[in-house]
């Protein structure tokens, strides 16, 4: 069945002949929304796996022009610059060829979020982010993070946010009350020991939440972070498709779901991160984004762009 869905997905994609960044998606509006407002209510209805799966359909209308390559930062070499206070003797050749770098106009703030790591590609991702000056949020799985504390420490020291993706990535909706507490709090302790910072953000595996889980989150002083769109990187494993999903759909305030355990995602990030930065997007952590877009981050609340 999954294979059939994937084949259908590929066929739909092949039918597409073009792509245009920033055009508006339509088929996912109901589940993901397009306004720049955030859900912060404890009354938010439960998000089921079934509801999320409806957003996994490929949206044909997202892009309608050809593949785009990342825009290069424009460097202009200007000759014959007049420097009125410069004497003839001091006017060197180097000074006549000043590089003028065009800083792109601010397009918005977005949070790239990477789930399920740390993995063998995570440090490569940290290198890419360091090269281009972007920040990200890593929702790590506790039983993987427990033996990779140096990577968590590096994430934190380089300005990224380390979030909690529970200890063993089970659907919290399937667990007993105490098991839910353990899944969140054990991973929380691992993160806090490695980074020296309080862990306040949780991403529930599969997005599975209900009122009981949110109440536990409130008691543990953590908030739940959903996503505004899924790049489907876990499904397609195709760098071009992942890159395409991002550059065609991204808008201000997005929280974008990715996974740093797949090499194809890293290959996509090699293209997407410079593209986003050269397009004027500021890559921030989830906490930075919520601070910018909301008044206060409430424990137990679910945050997503709606
Ligand atoms: Zn996950």
pLDDT tens per residue, range 205-250: 999 999 999 999 999 999 999 999 999 999 999 999 999 999 999 9
- 259 flagged as catalytic: yes
212: exposed, middle or buried (C-beta count within 10 Å: 0-12, 13-18, 19+)?
Answer: middle
Instruction: Give me the numbers of helices (H) and strands (E) for the chain, helices first please.
Output: 13, 11
Please give the residue that has the higher pLDDT: either 277 or 77.
277
Report the alpha-carbon distance of residue 88 to residue 289 in Å, rounded. 51
Span of 7-16, 25-34, 222-231, 252-261 with lowest mean pLDDT: 25-34
Which residue is catalytic, options 259, 260, 262, 267?
259
- Which one is catalytic: 59, 115, 208, 254? 115
Stretch 25-46: mean pLDDT, rounded? Answer: 36
Q: How many CA atoms lie within 13 A of 43 on its CB side?
A: 0
Are 258 and 203 within 8 A, CB to CB?
no
- Tell me how far the alpha carbon of residue 169 lies from the centroid of ligand 1, in angstroms: 6
CA–CA separation, 20 and 244 (whole Å)? 10
CA 75 vs CA 133, 253, 276: distances in Å: 19, 29, 18
Strand 136-140 versus strand 161-164 pairing type: parallel
Distance from residue 205's CA to the centre of ligand 1 (Å)? 5
The 8-class DSSP code of residue 305 comes to: B
Binning the chain into helix, strand and coil, the percentages to the nearest 5 are 40, 15, 45
Question: For the CA atoms of the chain, what is the radius of gyration?
Answer: 22
Q: Residue 178 pLDDT more than 60?
A: yes
Indicate whether 17 pLDDT > 70. Answer: no
C-alpha of residue 73 to centroid of ligand 1, in Å: 34
Is the pTM for the entire model greater than 0.85?
A: no
Judge whether 262 counts as a catalytic residue. no
Q: What is the DSSP string of 164-210?
A: E--SS---GGGS-HHHHHHHHHHHHHHHHHHHSS---EE--GGG---
Tell how far the Cα of 21 is from the centroid of ligand 1, in angstroms.
27
pLDDT at 223: 98
Residue 66: is its pLDDT beyond 80?
Answer: no
Q: What is the mean pLDDT of residues 261-288?
A: 98
The alpha carbon of 165 and the centre of ligand 1 are apart by a number of angstroms equal to 7
């Amino acid at each position: 069945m999954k294979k059939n869905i994937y084949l259908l997905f590929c066929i739909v994609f092949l039918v597409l002949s073009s792509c245009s960044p920033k055009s508006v998606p339509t088929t996912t509006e109901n589940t993901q929304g397009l306004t720049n407002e955030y859900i912060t209510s404890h009354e938010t209805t439960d998000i089921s796996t079934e509801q999320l799966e409806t957003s996994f359909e490929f949206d044909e209308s997202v892009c309608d022009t050809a593949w785009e390559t990342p825009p290069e930062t424009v460097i202009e070499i200007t000759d014959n610059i007049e420097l009125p206070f410069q004497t003839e003797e001091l006017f060197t050749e180097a000074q006549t060829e000043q590089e003028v770098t065009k800083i792109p106009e601010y397009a918005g703030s977005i949070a790239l979020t990477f789930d399920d790591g740390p993995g063998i590609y995570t440090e490569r991702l940290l290198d890419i982010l360091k090269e281009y000056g972007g920040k990200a949020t890593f929702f790590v799985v506790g039983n993987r993070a427990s033996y990779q504390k140096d990577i968590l420490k590096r994430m934190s020291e380089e300005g990224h946010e380390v979030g909690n993706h529970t200890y063993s990535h089970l659907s919290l909706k399937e667990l007993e009350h105490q098991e839910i507490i353990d899944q969140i709090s054990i991973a929380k302790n691992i993160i806090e020991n490695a980074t020296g910072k309080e862990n306040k953000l949780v991403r529930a595996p599969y997005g599975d939440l209900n009122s009981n889980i949110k109440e536990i989150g409130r008691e543990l002083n953590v908030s739940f972070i959903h996503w505004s769109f899924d790049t489907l990187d876990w499904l397609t494993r195709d760098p071009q498709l992942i890159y395409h999903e991002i550059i065609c759909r991204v808008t201000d305030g997005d929280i974008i779901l990715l996974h740093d355990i797949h090499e194809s995602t890293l290959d996509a990030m090699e293209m997407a991160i410079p593209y986003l930065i050269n397009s004027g997007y500021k890559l921030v952590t989830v906490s930075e984004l919520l601070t910018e877009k909301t008044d206060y981050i409430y424990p137990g609340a679910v945050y997503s762009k709606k």
